[in-house]
């Protein structure tokens, strides 16, 4: 595959950034990849495992002369990081991000994008419960969707170039406006994560079931909840606070559905339960048919490996 960008800067060196690096290196998609993380320990780990061609000790060094800057930090600090890199962005560069909320990121980052720099927010819908510089692998984005949310006035050529990078890393790419993105993700990701955190918390609080029993006798459903609930707490705290309105709307609808199911169980309404479960089962089949999962308990992630 041909090189897409001469120099790429990855700001934040966790799962997504490290996976982007290995994917870009695998495909020869970038001439040089620089990296920066706030933590000296993370920077040292990155150097130790060969993550990035050059790990920098300052944001300015990482961003200087970069053609593409990727913000891979929690959404709650996007604005502060954008303010720091603003003086170092070169004309013609593109700034993107990988956060799972878009309207709030645009509000935070947009004011710090200088004239002549392209801002194309993005969100790869790929991840695992693992985090940190050692967690990435080149195959993470293969056959997974990445959503791009170009802001008003973005040059189509800049968007096409970023799309080409994601596609060359194996992703399927679509474009979407920020508000719709945030509502879709509240349904498909944010509310399910909150429900998973809640269910694991209920198990932890239920005194009549011991911790040992919860761990030893976990059926597939609860085990999947614990995988989701093991996700990075800082990232998810920021997601819920940044996508408050859409998440609360979906949780309100969820609560209504839950009350209806409670009533059906209490009244012994088997027809209602069967019809409901039949309808929801079809959605699972659709996800598998769309190639966005496989019919396996581990979601096909058994082959994941750390670099």
pLDDT digits (tens, 9 = 90+) for 50-76: 999 999 999 999 999 999 999 999 999
The per-residue pLDDT for 275 is: 93
The per-residue pLDDT for 301 is: 46
Predicted confidence band of residue 134 (pLDDT cuts 50, 70, 90): very high
Q: Where are the domains of the chain?
A: 5-176, 180-303
Q: Tokens 């050692």 map to which residue?
A: 134
Q: Tokens 């597939």 map to which residue?
A: 220
Average pLDDT, the chain: 90
Residue 255 belongs to what H/E stretch? helix 244-267
Angle at CA 123, nearest 5°, toward 25 and 126? 65
Residue that wins the pLDDT comparison between 305 and 83? 83
The per-residue pLDDT for 208 is: 66
Cβ-proximal residues to 209 (8 Å cutoff; 6+ apart), any chain? 203
Predicted confidence band of residue 305 (pLDDT cuts 50, 70, 90): very low
The per-residue pLDDT for 294 is: 56
CA dist 198 and 17 (Å) reads 29
Predicted confidence band of residue 302 (pLDDT cuts 50, 70, 90): very low
In this structure, of 89-98, 145-154, 209-218, 237-246, the range with the lowest mean pLDDT score is 209-218
Q: How many CB atoms lie within 10 A of CB 150?
A: 22
The per-residue pLDDT for 84 is: 98
The percentage of residues in the chain with a pLDDT greater than 70, rounded to a whole number, is 93
Q: How many CA atoms lie within 13 A of 117 on its CB side?
A: 27
The percentage of residues in the chain with a pLDDT greater than 90, rounded to a whole number, is 70
CA dist 232 and 274 (Å) reads 36
Residue that wins the pLDDT comparison between 127 and 185? 185
The per-residue pLDDT for 286 is: 83
Domains 5-176 and 180-303 share a fold: no
Residue 181 belongs to what H/E stretch? helix 178-185
Architecture of domain 180-303: Orthogonal Bundle (1.10)
pLDDT digits (tens, 9 = 90+) for 156-177: 999 999 999 999 999 999 999 9
pLDDT, mean of residues 122-138: 89
The per-residue pLDDT for 282 is: 85
pLDDT, mean of residues 28-54: 97
Looking at the domain 5-176, which fold is it? Answer: Rossmann fold (3.40.50)
Predicted confidence band of residue 304 (pLDDT cuts 50, 70, 90): very low
What phi, psi does 33 have (nearest 5°)? -120, 120
Residue 66 DSSP class: -
Predicted confidence band of residue 7 (pLDDT cuts 50, 70, 90): very high
The per-residue pLDDT for 287 is: 80
The tokens of 1 are what? Answer: 């595959």
Predicted confidence band of residue 192 (pLDDT cuts 50, 70, 90): confident
Best mean pLDDT range from 48-62, 219-233, 237-251: 48-62
Residue that wins the pLDDT comparison between 123 and 227? 123
pLDDT, mean of residues 231-250: 89
The per-residue pLDDT for 189 is: 87
Predicted confidence band of residue 297 (pLDDT cuts 50, 70, 90): very low
């Amino acid at each position: 595959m041909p090189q897409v960008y001469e120099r790429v800067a990855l700001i934040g060196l966790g799962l997504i950034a490290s996976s982007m690096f290995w994917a870009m290196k695998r495909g020869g998609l970038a001439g040089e990849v620089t990296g920066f993380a706030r933590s000296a320990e993370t920077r040292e780990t990155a150097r130790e495992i060969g993550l990035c061609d050059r790990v920098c000790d300052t944001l300015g060094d990482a961003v200087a002369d970069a053609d593409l800057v990727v913000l891979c930090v929690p959404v709650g600090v996007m604005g502060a990081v954008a303010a720091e890199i603003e003086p170092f962005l070169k004309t013609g560069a593109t700034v993107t991000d990988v956060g799972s909320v878009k309207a709030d990121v645009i509000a935070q980052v947009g004011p710090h994008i200088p004239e002549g720099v392209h801002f194309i927010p993005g969100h790869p819908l790929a991840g695992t419960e693992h985090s940190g510089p050692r967690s990435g692998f080149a195959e993470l984005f293969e056959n997974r969707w990445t959503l791009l949310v170009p802001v008003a006035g973005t040059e189509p050529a800049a968007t096409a170039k970023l799309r080409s990078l994601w596609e060359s890393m194996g992703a399927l790419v679509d474009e979407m406006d920020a508000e719709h993105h945030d509502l879709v993700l509240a349904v498909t990701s944010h509310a399910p994560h909150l429900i998973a955190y809640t269910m694991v918390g209920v198990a932890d609080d239920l005194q009549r079931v011991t911790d040992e029993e919860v761990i030893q006798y976990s059926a597939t459903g609860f085990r999947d909840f614990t995988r989701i609930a093991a996700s990075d707490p800082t990232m998810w705290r920021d997601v819920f606070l940044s996508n408050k309105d859409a998440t609360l709307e979906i949780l309100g609808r969820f609560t209504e559905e839950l009350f209806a199911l409670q009533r059906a169980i209490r009244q012994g309404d088997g027809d209602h339960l069967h019809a409901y479960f039949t309808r929801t089962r079809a959605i699972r089949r659709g996800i598998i048919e769309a190639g966005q999962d496989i019919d396996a308990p581990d979601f096909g992630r058994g082959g994941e490996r750390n670099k």
